[in-house]
Amino acid sequence: MGEVSYEIAIIGGGPGGYSAALRAAELGLKTVVIEKDKIGGICLHHGCIPTTSLLQCAKVLETVNRSDKFGIKVEGISYDWQAIQKAKSVSVNRLFMGLNTLFKQRKVEVIKGTAAFDEPGSVRVENNTGSHTLLTDNIIIATGSSPRAIPEFQGNPNMAMDTNQVLEINKVPKSITIVGGGAYGVEFATLFKTFGSEVSIIERAAHLLPRDDHEVAKYLERSFAKRGISIYTNTKIQAAVQTNAGAQIEIENQSTGEVKTITSDKVLVTAGRIANLDNIDIETLGLRTKYGFIDTDSDMRTNIKGVFAAGDVTFNPQYANFAFSEGIHAVEIIAGMDPPTLNLKQIPIYTFGSPELAKVGYTEDEAKQAGFEIETVGLPLQAVPRSAIDKESIGFAKIVSIKGGPIIGVHLIGPDVVNLISEAMLITNWEATAEDVAQFLHPHPSFAESIGETVLKLAGKPLHSL
């Protein structure tokens, strides 16, 4: 293989990379994707898809376990963890096949191998056929991220699992300690609690989901506590020791100084991720980074001409929908188009599990820090008639609005709220006011009314609430 020229070379075939490649194909740009493993990346093979598949199995089990509330008796409830793992694999393989079909139909070229570069304009690819140089007008770095290790467990890698390894666990542990109370930690706490594990979560910040609205996060903590999940916030790890039974973790509350030891069969570390930049010569390139991630402008340009970045490798929220938006936007900029400004603040963020959480826009604290004069309103989902029908006792909606102006933040916790947040995304992006939205009433009875009822309350004309 001699030197071949491309208009775009994309390093990495995860959500940021494959969305860029598919959009480039639509625009007729000569594009190549270099991927060392499988198209789909961490999200498809070791992240959101398999995790959500397992959580869906947990949701089915939860539904069966509470069937008596609907007058339905189910005896001898049990689960088969190996069958659950198989269901997960079936989901992943089906989507992988579909993605490969898309690539073939759009004639996207993929080279399997490891890519590296130290100057714009060319990429070196190493694979089983040797070393090759690709010439390119533009490079999109979409190499993703990997689980972050923490010092307390680095001396003994068998003591703790990361978020990739836990997906392949061969049985549900009797007890598990989760280090990190972000989205991953919350999702896996839901998963293992539903399947019968004794679950503890350790989080250094003042509350779980530290980037979420504090009121919603506290609601989640109360919900978890009712389920018997032990929560240790504002807490740091002092030491960790492997035992015959699993692991002992010594923790200290950062406010009170209280020290406690937690013993569990398994430990899962979900304390953040690091950018995959091993083969990118940052120093030679002079590539600007921020806290170890590539720093880009709003058009996904780096400080190096002709070099863009998208997805988890950037200093942006690490969600697949962000990566999709970034990859598509970068390609449209390269193509000379004039796409709308990519406002990452107005893309939804979500946490699957039980309950689900979803948000878009500003939290109350962020809005105040930004200097907005705001008003907020909250609504328990018990005010929504569907809650009574579905026998749901958990749920809360909160709206943040500029006083007398548009809605700039929507925060939801409860059943299936991830499926509701798209409406909130339109509300905040179109700068709608409470009065604008209040005239459009939602299907009744439905959980979609949680947004409608909260907006009605903000507009001063509540219907099913005070």
The torsion angles phi and psi of 433, rounded to 5 degrees, stand at -90, 170
At 183 the pLDDT is: 95
At 205 the pLDDT is: 96
151-271 belongs to which homologous superfamily?
FAD/NAD(P)-binding domain (3.50.50.60)
Mean pLDDT over 69-89 rounds to: 96
Interstrand relation of 31-35 and 109-112 (parallel, antiparallel or unpaired): parallel
At 158, is the pLDDT very low, low, confident or very high (cuts 50, 70, 90)? Answer: confident
Torsion of CA 400, 403, 404, 408, to 10 degrees: -30
What percent of the chain lies above the pLDDT cut of 90? 92
**In the block, residue with structure tokens 């009712």:** 226
Q: Are 17 and 310 in contact (CB under 8 A)?
A: yes
Q: What share of the chain is helix, strand, coil (3-state, %, to 5)?
A: 35, 25, 40
* Whether pLDDT at 231 is above 90: yes
295's tokens: 């720093």
At 303 the pLDDT is: 97
Q: Which residues contact 320 (CB under 8 A, 6 or more apart)?
A: 15, 43, 47, 48
pTM: 0.95
Mean pLDDT over 236-257 rounds to: 91
Per-residue pLDDT tens over the stretch 250-306 = 999 999 999 999 999 999 999 889 999 999 999 999 999 999 999 999 999 999 999
* Whether pLDDT at 2 is above 90: no
409's tokens: 């933040």
Mean pLDDT over 54-81 rounds to: 96
- 207 noted as active-site residue: no
Lowest mean pLDDT among 155-164, 269-278, 392-401: 155-164
At 245 the pLDDT is: 77
At 466 the pLDDT is: 79
Task: Compute CA distances 105 → 45, 110, 336, whole Å.
Answer: 22, 13, 25
Per-residue pLDDT tens over the stretch 311-328 = 999 999 999 999 999 999
Per-residue pLDDT tens over the stretch 83-122 = 999 999 999 999 999 999 999 999 999 999 999 998 999 9
Per-residue pLDDT tens over the stretch 183-226 = 999 999 999 999 999 999 999 999 999 999 999 999 999 999 99
* Whether pLDDT at 33 is above 60: yes
Q: Are 288 and 295 in contact (CB under 8 A)?
A: yes
Q: Identify the CATH number of the domain defined by range 355-458.
A: 3.30.390.30
- Look up residue 379 and give its amino acid: L
Give the CATH fold of the 4-146+274-344 domain: FAD/NAD(P)-binding domain (3.50.50)
Residue 102: how many CB atoms within 10 A of its CB?
15
Q: What is the mean pLDDT of the chain?
A: 95
At 243 the pLDDT is: 84
Q: Where are the domains of the chain?
A: 4-146+274-344, 151-271, 355-458
Mean pLDDT over 225-254 rounds to: 93
At 155, is the pLDDT very low, low, confident or very high (cuts 50, 70, 90)? Answer: low
CA distance 282 to 143: 14
Of the listed 45, 132, 411, 444, which one is catalytic? 444
Mean pLDDT over 330-359 rounds to: 95
CA distance 201 to 188: 10
At 244 the pLDDT is: 82
CA distance 339 to 332: 7
Mean pLDDT over 373-391 rounds to: 96
At 157, is the pLDDT very low, low, confident or very high (cuts 50, 70, 90)? Answer: low
Mean pLDDT over 379-384 rounds to: 94
198's tokens: 């004794």
